[in-house]
Amino acid sequence: MEMKRILSGIKPTGAPHLGNYFGMMRPCIALQEQGEAFYFIADYHALTTVRDAADLRAHTRGVALDFLACGLDPARAVLFRQSDVPEHTELAWILSCVTPMPMLENCHAYKDHVAKDRTPNHGLFAYPVLMAADILLYDSNVVPVGRDQKQHVEVTRDLASLMNRLYAKSAPIFTVPEASILPNVATVIGLDGQKMSKSYNNTIPLFEDEKPLRKKIMGIVTDSTPVESPKDPAGSTIVALYRLFASDAEVAKLEEDFRAGGTGYGDFKKRLFDALWEFFRPMREKRAALAADPGHVEKVLHDGAQRARAVAVRTMERVRAAVGLR
């Protein structure tokens, strides 16, 4: 049986946060045991918003460190920088030459941008084409995504099918990928009760130093219920976040203490901080060791790019021949 190829990427637009970890990183790390996994740091995509070169380089290295600290094994999965494989942008241009404008105008990110009276740049408008190139370049069978990202894979499927119809003579040019909706991935709540997102400035970074992390946790928005009064755990940001790190029994005890009254939100926040800090302790220690050897991280990315490019070059030879560039 042929091994399935898995592809996913993460943008280095800042420090990865809990939403990134539970929504993408942890599920992808688990998938490295189930197929041939290619995971890239999407620094080309980050250029749509990141305007400082030093920041982009630092964020890119930070994402690599975080992924490795959280359990990505470079012997099992290919981890690389998108920009180390120039075939991504070459294929994006070829795909853009057959992409209908209405397809991109209908994409959620572009529509949301316009709805907020913002002027989108071309990168934001065309990024679904680059995403399609990211996926198709590696003959990916499976693309793990959350439900809100399924549209990206649908665009990729449409473009792969279109290219196959236009240019394939004897065999398809591209593998048509399937979206794999990540199971049991709940929306991670941010400090203000909304979905955790850098755009809302409500994130909890994975490896924040102890003092600033504690300050963030203690700043979680709560209501004005007095210490002595019972509190409703339903809809509580504290409870929702605690559930990510604690056992069922510990969550039940927290909810019981909420309903009993006599404990203030400050004490519950301290309990949350302790659970979060302990959950990431082994990963934090591993990250510190990795950060002390920057040459190792760079070697992982370099080796990953070589492995990724070996596949990408073969794909582009096939594409160039099909469209008439060779």
- Return d(Cα 132, Cα 99) in angstroms, integer: 11
The class level of CATH for 5-188+294-323 reads alpha beta
Query: With bands split at pLDDT 50, 70 and 90, how would you rate the model's confidence at 150?
Result: confident
Q: What is the pLDDT of residues 67-123, one digit of tens each?
A: 999 999 999 999 999 999 999 999 999 999 999 999 999 998 899 888 888 888 999
Within the chain, all domains assigned CATH 3.40.50.620 are found at 5-188+294-323
**pTM for this entry:** 0.92
Helix/strand/coil for 248: helix
Q: Which CATH number fits domain 208-279: 3.40.50.970, 3.40.50.300, 2.40.160.20, 1.10.240.10?
A: 1.10.240.10
- Return d(Cα 117, Cα 94) in angstroms, integer: 30
Within the chain, all domains assigned CATH 1.10.240.10 are found at 208-279
Tokens of 207: 């490896």
Is there a contact between 120 and 128 (Cβ–Cβ < 8 Å)?
no
DSSP 169-186: SSS-SS---EEEEPTT-P
**Proportion of the chain in helix, strand, coil states, percent, rounded to 5:** 55, 10, 35
- pLDDT attached to residue 304: 98
Percentage of the chain with pLDDT > 90? 83
Contact partners, residue 90, CB within 8 Å, separation at least 6: 316
Q: What is the pLDDT of residues 197-248, one digit of tens each?
A: 888 899 999 999 999 999 999 999 999 999 999 999 998 999 999 999 999 9
- Where is average pLDDT lowest: 19-28, 123-132, 146-155, 178-187? 178-187
- pLDDT attached to residue 1: 43
Q: What is the pLDDT of residues 275-302, one digit of tens each?
A: 999 999 999 999 999 999 989 999 999 9
**Mean per-residue pLDDT of the chain:** 93
Cα-only R_g, the chain: 22
- pLDDT attached to residue 185: 61
Q: Give residue for tokens 């949350």.
A: 272
Is there a contact between 323 and 167 (Cβ–Cβ < 8 Å)?
yes
- Return d(Cα 126, Cα 139) in angstroms, integer: 21
- pLDDT attached to residue 284: 97
